[in-house]
Amino acid sequence: MEPSKTEKKTKTTPKKQVFAALRIRKELKRQIEIELDNANKKDFGRKIRAEEYLVLAISLMTPSHLLTLREASLTNADRLERDYRNHLTANGPISRDEYLGKILNGEISSKNSTAAQPNTNLKTTGSIACEAQGVRV
């Protein structure tokens, strides 16, 4: 008889992942790297990481920036639906076809039935502009 080999079985618990992948356009990645290179041109101290850069950029976002991004994500059909719903709450029930006919005839201006439009001309200096991310503004 051969001596039996006993193997120790240890349970390995999977480690929690600390990092996650985020898909961004190559041009945006290059722009972030350029900004980080400029920020890291210093004599002393450790390197500034992309995570720190992005945390700061996110913390500087204002509610008007979010409104701009939300507005840029709407299609024309979405805007028409939003305006139609606003018109219903302000003026009472009307069919979608009648509403569209009144807009085309000029009886209702689409500006009157929309909520206050955000300032879509916001530009940020020293940070990532919406155009670099492919967002229409």
Please write the tens of the pLDDT for every residue from 17-68: 788 888 999 999 999 999 999 999 999 999 999 999 999 999 999 999 999 9
pTM, 2 dp: 0.56
CA 117 to CA 109: how far, in whole Å?
Answer: 14
pLDDT tier at 103 (50, 70, 90 boundaries)? very high
Cα separation, 109 vs 114, whole angstroms: 9
| pLDDT confidence of residue 15 | 76
pLDDT, position 41: 95
Domain residues of the chain, as ranges?
Answer: 63-122
For residue 70, the one-letter residue type is: R
Other C-beta atoms within 10 Å of 137: how many?
Answer: 16
Is pLDDT of 129 > 50? no
Question: CB atoms < 10 A from the CB of 87, how many?
Answer: 19
